[in-house]
């Protein structure tokens, strides 16, 4: 018997080769499934974080725009201006809390 030969019959060698291939395929499929689950989980976490950040930035930008509008609006009577500013601040806070 030479170095590369086996004492097993060809049909046994073929059956063993098939089982090895099945085991390797199953192992590779398990690995791919685990990697997919990990990537999906990380992506979902990233997406949630980005949504929260976007919402926070939007609320801040809206608040700053409202403040800018308040600063530029002038009234002839000081009492009217004070009432307008107070109402606008209340509205701004309501927007922040509902957003």
CB 6 within 8 A of CB 16: no
- List, for the chain, all residue ranges whose pLDDT scores fall below the cut of 50: 1-2
The pLDDT assigned to 93 comes to 80
CB 81 within 8 A of CB 75: yes
Contacts 24+ apart (CB under 8 A), 49-55: 55/99
């Amino acid at each position: 018997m030479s170095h590369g030969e086996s004492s097993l019959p060809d049909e046994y060698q073929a059956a063993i080769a098939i089982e090895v291939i099945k085991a390797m395929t199953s192992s590779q499929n398990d690995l791919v499934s685990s990697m997919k689950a990990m990537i999906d989980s990380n992506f979902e976490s990233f997406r949630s974080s980005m949504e929260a950040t976007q919402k926070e930035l939007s609320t801040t930008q809206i608040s700053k725009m409202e403040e800018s509008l308040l600063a530029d609006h002038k009234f002839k009577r000081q009492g009217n201006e004070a009432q307008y500013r107070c109402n606008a601040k209340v509205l701004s806070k309501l927007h922040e809390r509902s957003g």
